[in-house]
Amino acid sequence: MNTHTPASTTAAGSPRGRRLRAAAAAAATVALACTGLAALPSAASAAGEGLVVQYRTSAGGATADQSEPWLKVRNSGSASVPLSSVKVRYYFKADSASAAYRFACSWAVKGCANITGTFGTLASPTATADRYLEIGFTPGAGSLAPGADTGDMQLRFYQASWQTLTQSDDYSFGAGRSSYGDWPKVTAQVGGATVWGEAPAGNGPTDPTDPTDPPTDPPADGPRLFDDFNYSGHTDPKIAQHGWSVRSNSGGPGVPGATWAPQNVTFASQSGNSVMNLETSTAGTAASTVQTEVLTQATKFRNGTYAARVKFSDAPRSGPDGDRLVQTFFTINDLKAPMADDYAEYDFEYLPNGGWGEPANILYTTSWETYRPDPWEAVNAHSESRQSYAGWHDLVVTIDNSTITYHVDGQPFGTHGSAYLPERPMSINFNQWLIDLQGQTSTTPRSYDQQVDYVLHVKDQVLTPAQVNAMVGAYRSAGTTFQDTVPAS
């Protein structure tokens, strides 16, 4: 295991106990430049918003090589709706318990690059639905004015094995729908509240007008960190002024002998919104392997809400696929001694090509109590989902005095108990690295991208995913790209 000085030295194992992670840290701590910012305006609730989903299919047979739900979303309300707050669900019956599915966008007025598709499992399966395809939108999709619609979204999904699928028993499928029409068997949510359609029996959300529901508007006060990653490049002095370090020091995790390259962390505008890109590349040797990491210089974050919008990738930007890649958003502090009980780490880790004994894509969330590197011993809890998570995802983890709770795209993903609560503050990190070089042995160069839209931490407050979306939307409406009022630990 490699260590880093003078900052913290940390390592952790995979949920299966097959990896060591040595978290990067800055060589020196730079004081945060916290400037006075205008007060954050309160965000509007989704209660007054209305949407209509229209549906047609271009594959109307009882069976098909792929299902083709074409959709339009229309704003039937009186206020503009940012599409990044909208989720649309198409419900279907899996062809087998082990079936895996892939999403694709053939064409869209809003641009396929601005549309995401992920699959989930229903809490209460029915005879016509046990899975769903959830359609989301990046900030680049813009907003829908009252009366406007998205235009065509020509979408499709298919079995990863390319076996014929049966769609005649799918809840949302309409065999005769050869032209667009309102379709309540597809649901739409704004900020987590359902505003159109009806889910299969037993899977409907709590009525958003129920007074017991948590409010959509986020708390108006409390220390917080928000960063929209609006920087010119890895040498932008504002990165250090805002408390971030772009890693250059050697060491784990990943391929021994690999380097960590600040120049591979870049920033670009996507439809007027700045996005951070972490590029990891290799040509099949340790010397050619370049990994990337961005982390806070301060370890001052403990209980509260952590959120980020992250784009995972299943395929390389260029070159052959197959490397055992790890794409992450996590918090961590240093292990002061083997099995020290004040260690803490909370991970979102996506493996697009498997690894750690997994044969294919899998998303882990893991809460760490402690570990011993040699001989290996780990104390952690994890949750996992074996499916593709390619595309943009809203990742939220909350920590209070009893529970760690993970959400993905507004839905519960994992809950871990009080044994894994943090005893000390942590840093906030994003990195992309290779477990080893065995997944793809080619010497042809290839590179992978992980993108980050924003990060948010609210100290000592547990927010719902809807409240996170509202808070981020309020920052952007105010034109605020950075704020840090979290005190030093």
More confident residue, 392 or 39: 392
Percent of the chain with pLDDT over 90: 71
Q: What is the pLDDT at residue 363?
A: 95
Q: What is the pLDDT of residues 124-167, one digit of tens each?
A: 899 999 999 999 998 888 999 999 999 999 999 998 888 999 99
Q: What is the pLDDT of residues 64-115, one digit of tens each?
A: 999 999 999 999 998 899 999 999 999 999 999 888 888 899 899 999 888 9
pLDDT at 24 over 90: no
Determine the distance from the C-alpha atom of residue 114 to the mean position of all C-alpha atoms in its chain, rounded to a whole number: 15
Query: Distance between CA atoms of 410 and 232, rounded to whole angstroms?
Result: 31
- Name the nearest CA neighbour of 329 among 255, 392, 400: 392
Which range (33-42, 149-158, 307-316) has the least confidence? 33-42
Q: What is the pLDDT at residue 3?
A: 29
* Mean pLDDT rounded to a whole number for the chain: 86
Residue entry with tokens 């002061």: 336
Query: Distance between CA atoms of 69 and 174, rounded to whole angstroms?
Result: 9
Residue 412: band (very low, low, confident or very high) from pLDDT cuts 50, 70, 90: confident
What single letter denotes the amino acid at residue 376?
A: W
Q: What is the pLDDT at residue 201?
A: 86
Q: What is the pLDDT at residue 205?
A: 56
pLDDT at 446 over 70: yes
pLDDT at 245 over 70: yes
Pairing of strands 129-137, 51-57: unpaired
Q: What is the pLDDT at residue 451?
A: 97
Whole-Å CA distances, 173 to 62, 69, 96, 200, 342: 10, 8, 18, 12, 52
Determine the distance from the C-alpha atom of residue 93 to the mean position of all C-alpha atoms in its chain, rounded to a whole number: 25
pLDDT at 182 over 90: yes
Q: What is the pLDDT at residue 202?
A: 77
For residues 430-456, give the mean pLDDT.
97
For residues 339-361, give the mean pLDDT.
95
Determine the distance from the C-alpha atom of residue 42 to the mean position of all C-alpha atoms in its chain, rounded to a whole number: 25
Which range (106-110, 118-122, 420-424, 428-432) has the least confidence? 118-122
Q: What is the pLDDT at residue 218?
A: 55
Q: What is the pLDDT at residue 139?
A: 83
* Torsional class of 372: left (φ above 0), alpha (ψ -120 to 50), beta (otherwise): beta
Which range (189-198, 201-210, 329-338, 358-367) has the least confidence? 201-210
Its pTM surpasses 0.85: no
Whole-Å CA distances, 393 to 84, 283, 349, 409: 11, 29, 12, 6
